[in-house]
Structure 1
Amino acid sequence: MKSIDLTPLYRSSVGFDRLASLIDSALTTDTSASGYPPYNIEVCEDNQYAITLAVAGFTQAELDIQVEKGVLTVRGTKGAKDDGQYLFQGIANRTFERKFNLADYVEVTGADLSNGLLTIDLVKEIPEAMKPKTIAINHRGNVLEHTAKEDINKGDKAA
């Protein structure tokens, strides 16, 4: 696989180091990585998201969810293996680890395990200091123009 040089991004931008390293890690990720467990990422509302993982056969005690440095990690650890005799075993009950990179200001607000689906709720809460704000425009210039015109008119009447 050919690697892409992201050095030009670092030269012409400030503060986007995380974005460039995210792109770099996405490009260098092992493409043979397992697709287990399957998952969905859903946009619920403007700033609310949900990640749903199909974790059939896992109990709540066998699942672990952690967030560290903007990375959400979901782990499933199976206990002792069932030594039953199967004619066919299509349900994957293997240990897994799935990671999701979270954008700035995205926080995990909760998780729910129901009917073999683990749903993790996320919300993007932009701090007040980062939100756009409307700046009022003063009308002093118009007031001064109006006053100047009145002065001119008063001068004409006086003459």
Structure 2
Amino acid sequence: MTTEHAGRRPVPPVPRLKDQAARLRARAHARGEEMSASQALEALARLMGAPDWNTLRASAVKGPEGAPLEAEEKVWARYMGSDPVRAKVLRVALGEKPGLWRVQIQFLESREGKNLSPVHLSRERVQADVDGAGVSVGRLSSGIPHLALELR
């Protein structure tokens, strides 16, 4: 899942890139030079061999190494036993326990299902810890997972 820019080493995730740009900006300020946040991002991109920040950001790793899915990916999701609907992955991070991934998704369609209360139907975004198969550890009393994602 790592991506490389111009045949070089993998490009870190965007939050790490932004931290690096902030340190670059702080060093510039320590030397008495003015540098805006956007100038720091552009300078970092050039240092890493990209023509600009947008190109560097597009080539950045989208989620933790080994995650079963990545941010911006479109998936089919079942929430609380609903019929499968299209959803967009907003965020992927390491879960609280080994082998789990904290995933936040946004539903792109309305949901229907016998287990959904009006509160569940109104949710546009859901966060859950899922295993490598995309199934949440949290379950309804009937044993149905809170969230089940159909992975590629």
Query: Which range, TM-score by smaller chain?
Result: under 0.3
Return the index of the structure with the highest Cα Rg. Answer: 1
> TM-score, length-normalised on structure 1?
0.27
> TM-score, length-normalised on structure 2?
0.28
